[in-house]
Structure 1
Amino acid sequence: MSRISVRGFAVASATAVTAVGSVVGVASGSTAQNNDAEATAADATLLADMPAGQQAQVQTASLTQQADVQAIAADVSAKKDAEEAARKAAAQTAIEKKDAAEKAAKAAQEAKEREEAEAKASRSASTASFPVQSSYTVAQIQAMARQVVPSDQWTCFSNIVDHESSWNYRAVNPSSGAYGLFQALPGSKMSSVGADWQTNPGTQIKWGLNYMNERYGSPCGAWSFWQANKWY
């Protein structure tokens, strides 16, 4: 290779490197990119003095380096996008977990309030005082029951009594001997509430409500079981 061609090759190589530096400067936002571009333009004049074959080699090398720089820049951009997507996904997961925790806490609070209401109703049923009469109409018995049965449980409570005794507090099952409004078997178990369980529907109501709350959680729990099994 002649002295001129060697010098030209060196200059052209420097031109290629400078061109690559320009690309990097543009990708990174460097303030030196204008100076790099001017240097590239100046060196390009020297590149024209080189033989065509050498020019092609230098230009190929320059394009390859530029492609490498662009690939690196693309990789950096892709990495940033992936990190941003991961950050957003983590934030969304945190929000979902928070919402789930709040819903669980709310459900637990509602369950606690229901339990307290049922316990209060049970205590009210145990301590309620009803006037003693020689006989009672269905309307009177239902009015007594409404005093102690929570309003949201009334329909379920009433459905069970309707099916068990039709509100007849002296009803007796001829086969089993089950007795009263709730067809307790044996009927004598209602004596835990009062000795007048055979003649006082108020005593039976106290026992029946306590039984439903203790065994099924509520009258509606007892009614759901009754519907599935035809007994409770």
Structure 2
Amino acid sequence: MFGAAAGLCLLPDHYAYRYRTDAFGATGADRTTDISATVSLPGLEPPVLDCELRGDWTTTSAEPDRGWLGPPSGIPPVAWRAGLDLNPLDAADPDTTAWLQTLVWPEHHERRARLRQAGALAAQVKPRILPGDLSEPGVPALHRLVEQVPGDLTLVVFHTAVLAYLPDDARLALADTLRELPGHWVSQEGVNVLPDVHRGAAEAAAEMTEPFFVQSVDGEPTALVGPHGAWIQPL
């Protein structure tokens, strides 16, 4: 994980999720799917992340086998986790958590509450976050981390809203490195951040009138997503 945000982005199995859509299938009925956290800590409530499903997630005549492509039935198990950050932060440090809360817009009270919940979880779990500079040629910190992943596990490298802070040449070089790694590469970045990767999303992106990111898996665009995971629209 790049840009681990004091470890908060390393705990997907510690969070709960609520997916909703306003028009499910031909009936137009609402549908809500709740997914509970698979890992719980005594005395701590998991934050609930809400996501609106946009677009067509159901079977079409052109794709008869597509079926319901909505949220998963559960959260994949996380057997090993670690992050890279230019300046690793400690969620157990009160000054760090206070600073992170100041970055949330004043009127976004629900986001601030979720941040406090996630911070309390990260302070107990203490996920490993190593210092690493993604703009360093060859990204040696990434290779050192990948070498530590147990060989019987599936590697998944994830990042969101991080690569925009890198120079263009470092960004392209990092994308090439990620393509060559074993396992899977999942990214959520601005449409202009990875132009080669996001080329397949250009038509849908041109119609957007609100902020969004492009979600890609293994270098192929799969969806447009709202900031902070507020919505997802398949491509």
Q: Given the two structures, how large is their TM-score scaled by the length of structure 1? A: 0.19
> TM-score, normalized by length of structure 2?
0.19
> Which entry has the higher C-alpha Rg, 1 or 2?
1
Query: Greater share of helix residues, 1 or 2?
Result: 1
> Whose strand proportion is higher, 1 or 2?
2
